[in-house]
């Protein structure tokens, strides 16, 4: 865990946390240990809505294996080129990946940028954060929720939320007035071939509703679309199934059909939304 310029705040009373021994402490003596993997758990039990919230261990492992094979590299590259253009070259930029999963996108972004970055990744899944911290030791990893981000108000230059659960009001409070929010969202054709195979009927596509973002004083500045075709091998097919909720909610016959395939050509259809503050 980096000790320089920590922005961490106590999840119980929002006062600043300072590093002491093998953990963090606030002025009211609340203490949070640094786990052996190097992350800090700042998710108090009463902020949890289930015993083990977020992605489970099997989902995290599957996502790690799938992403590490770079099937989604084009998505990461789009994020890297867009976010890096907005960073200030004259100073350290504070950046948060909200719902970072096992850390692929944030780690690649920091590696890509030649600017000084103080990077935080948070996720509500302890398994995801442990996997991120174990692999990407130089970054700051937190178990926490997008609903209560344990970082100082008005401190962040950028927030990334990739395929996650945006909490616009909370994001707005944590960003500097000049800060940017980057949302990576799936679009209508994303993995359509997979969904057609596993579901008897597809749900109608709902485009991103901008109203909650606008209500939190965000203004859409840019939207970039990315479409690509990828052909997965058998191993990647089962990893993709295991890292998404499809495996848990799709009919068994549909899953069996996909599992029987040796290759599957899929459309990636995503968009990166860039918001500023108004």
Q: Which residues bind Zn ion (CB under 5 A)?
A: 10, 12-13, 26, 28, 30
Residues between 119 and 138 with contacts to ligand SAM, criterion CB under 6 A: 123-125, 128
CB of 91 to ligand SAM, least distance (A): 26
Cα diameter, the chain:
58
CB of 112 to ligand SAM, least distance (A): 16
Count Cβ atoms below 10 Å from residue 77 Cβ, excluding itself.
Answer: 14
User: Is residue 112 packed enough to be buried (19+ CB in 10 Å), middle (13-18) or exposed (0-12)?
Assistant: middle
User: Is residue 153 packed enough to be buried (19+ CB in 10 Å), middle (13-18) or exposed (0-12)?
Assistant: middle
Which of 133, 162, 183, 272 lies at the binding interface for ligand SAM (CB under 6 A)?
Answer: 162
- Pure H helices in 35-162: 57-68, 73-86, 104-112, 126-135
Selection from ligand SAM, Zn ion, none that 147 binds (CB < 5 to 8 A by kind) is: ligand SAM
Q: Hunting for tokens 């059909």 — which residue is that?
A: 257
User: Is residue 248 packed enough to be buried (19+ CB in 10 Å), middle (13-18) or exposed (0-12)?
Assistant: exposed
CB of 26 to Zn ion, least distance (A): 3
| Residue 199 token pair | 């579901």
- Residues 6 and 18 sit within 8 Å (Cβ to Cβ): yes
Report the residue number, 25 or 153, with the smaller CB distance to ligand SAM.
153
Selection from Zn ion, ligand SAM, none that 151 binds (CB < 5 to 8 A by kind) is: none
Which of 164, 240, 241, 272 lies at the binding interface for ligand SAM (CB under 6 A)?
Answer: 164
Residues between 48 and 107 with contacts to ligand SAM, criterion CB under 6 A: 54-55, 63, 99-101, 104-105
Report the residue number, 32 or 182, with the smaller CB distance to ligand SAM.
182
- Residues 143 and 121 sit within 8 Å (Cβ to Cβ): no
- Residues 83 and 122 sit within 8 Å (Cβ to Cβ): no
The alpha carbon dihedral of 7, 11, 15, 20 has a sign of negative
CB of 262 to ligand SAM, least distance (A): 25
Selection from ligand SAM, Zn ion, none that 40 binds (CB < 5 to 8 A by kind) is: none
Residues between 138 and 157 with contacts to ligand SAM, criterion CB under 6 A: 145-147
Task: Give the footprint of ligand SAM on this chain (CB under 6 A).
Answer: 54-55, 63, 99-101, 104-105, 123-125, 128, 145-147, 162-165
């Amino acid at each position: 865990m980096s000790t320089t310029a920590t922005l961490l705040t106590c999840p119980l009373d929002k006062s600043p946390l300072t590093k002491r021994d093998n953990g963090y402490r606030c002025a009211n003596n609340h203490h949070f240990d640094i786990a052996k993997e190097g992350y800090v758990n700042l998710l108090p039990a009463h902020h949890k809505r289930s015993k083990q919230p977020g992605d489970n261990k099997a989902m995290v492992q599957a996502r790690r294996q799938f992403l590490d094979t770079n099937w989604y590299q084009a998505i990461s590259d789009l994020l890297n080129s867009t976010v890096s253009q907005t960073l200030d070259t004259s100073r350290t930029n504070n950046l948060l990946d909200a719902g970072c999963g096992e850390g692929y996108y944030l780690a690649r972004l920091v590696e890509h940028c030649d600017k000084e970055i103080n990077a935080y990744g948070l996720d509500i899944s302890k398994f995801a954060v442990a996997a991120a911290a174990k692999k990407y030791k130089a970054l700051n990893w937190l178990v926490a929720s997008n609903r209560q981000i344990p970082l100082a108000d008005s401190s962040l230059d950028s927030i990334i939320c990739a395929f996650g659960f945006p909490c616009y009001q909370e994001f707005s409070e944590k960003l500097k007035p000049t800060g940017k929010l980057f949302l990576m969202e799936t679009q209508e054709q994303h993995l359509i071939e997979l969904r057609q195979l596993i579901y008897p009927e597809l749900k109608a596509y709902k485009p991103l509703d901008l109203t909650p973002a606008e209500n939190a004083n965000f203004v859409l500045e840019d939207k970039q679309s990315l479409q690509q075709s990828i052909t997965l091998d058998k191993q990647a097919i089962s990893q993709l199934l295991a890292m998404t909720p499809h495996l848990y909610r799709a009919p068994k016959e549909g899953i069996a059909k996909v599992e029987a395939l040796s290759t599957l050509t899929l459309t990636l259809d995503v968009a990166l939304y860039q918001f500023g503050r108004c």
